[in-house]
Amino acid sequence: MTVHIDLTGRTALVTGSTQGIGAAIATQLARAGARVAVNGRGADGVRRAADALRADVPGADVLEIAADVASDEGSARALELLPEVDILVNNLGIFGARPPLEISDEEWRRYFEVNVLAAVRLTRAYLPAMMDRGWGRVQYIASDSAVVIPAEMIHYGVSKTALLGVSRGFAKAAAGTGVTVNTVIAGPTHTGGVEDFVYQLVDRSLPWAEAQREFMRLHRPQSLIQRLIEPDEIANLVTYLASPLASATTGAALRVDGGYVDAIVP
């Protein structure tokens, strides 16, 4: 048997997909034949990302959704531009280091609004039609920090822990409908934002290759691959879960963490 993923005829929305993991997911879904909506807050950034995707995947059907889906207004705008989807990938998220006792109520609320409530709101909007049609895929991009809460960013870790519960709950709501709902637990991944984060924790004068090794040695020593994960490696699992091949996988938290989480199950 040959494993072949064909998403022709499916429409996917990937939130926060102008760069990093989100851009990699959008690209992989397009390669599998899906019509893909690229999302970000600014029209210029969305246009650049969409153009890059079209150049990378000739003939790709790409939509541009410039909307801040972490807000009520932005979510409404996204729904106006794209009323229905077959595949929803809730990738949007923010992160950053902060001493635990210095995290304000305002920052806690911001992390919950962006990392959790944005995904809940879109799921609530798109899931009913998926259930009525008898097919759909909802995914949340979480983090190893959901399971191994880092001392330097408790607020981020807790927001990702919340996504595990959100995913399991919506999977139960969609039981028996042909719609699957899952979370992908991403490990330490190489993105531009993570490069900035790494340099918050190690000597900024170090070249990137050395800074990465130092970061993994000091702050992520549990990693079994002993390197940062590339965004395409996350996108590969997301694309599989979006396909008919993953029809029996739902309510799950699946790890692409390089063996970082020291557990047999999530």
**Is 2 part of a structural domain of the chain?**
no
| Residue for token pair 């047999």 | 264
Residue 156: helix, strand or coil by DSSP?
helix
Instruction: Count how many domains the chain has.
Output: 1
Ranges of residues in the chain with a pLDDT under 70 are: 1-2, 266
- Domain hosting 81: range is 11-189+229-256
Residue-wise pLDDT tens digits, 24-41: 999 999 999 999 999 999
| CA distance linking residue 224 with residue 257, whole number of Å | 9
CATH number at residue 101: 3.40.50.720
In a domain? residue 68: yes
Looking at residue 7, its pLDDT comes to 98
Count Cβ neighbours within 10 Å for each residue of 173-190 and write b for 16 or more, e otherwise: ebeebebbbbbbbbbbbb
- pLDDT of 206: 94
pLDDT for 191: 85
Which sequence positions are flagged as catalytic? 156
Residue with tokens 């920052």: 107
Question: pTM of the predicted model, to two decimals?
Answer: 0.94
Per the CB < 8 A criterion, the answer to whether 171 and 243 are in contact is: no
Look at residue 235 and tell me if it is in a domain: yes
> Would you say residue 106 lies in a domain?
yes
pLDDT at residue 263, rounded to an integer: 86
Give the pLDDT confidence of 202-246 residue by residue, as tens digits.
Answer: 999 999 989 998 999 998 898 999 889 999 999 999 999 999 999
The answer to whether residue 178 is domain-embedded is yes
Give residue 218's pLDDT: 92
Q: Is residue 265 part of a domain?
A: no
First to last CA, the chain: 29
87 falls within a domain = yes
DSSP secondary structure, 184-207, as one string: EEE-SB--HHHHHHHHHHS-TTS-
According to the model, what pLDDT value does residue 238 have? Answer: 98
What's the pLDDT at 55? 98
Helix (H) or strand (E) holding 36: strand 35-40
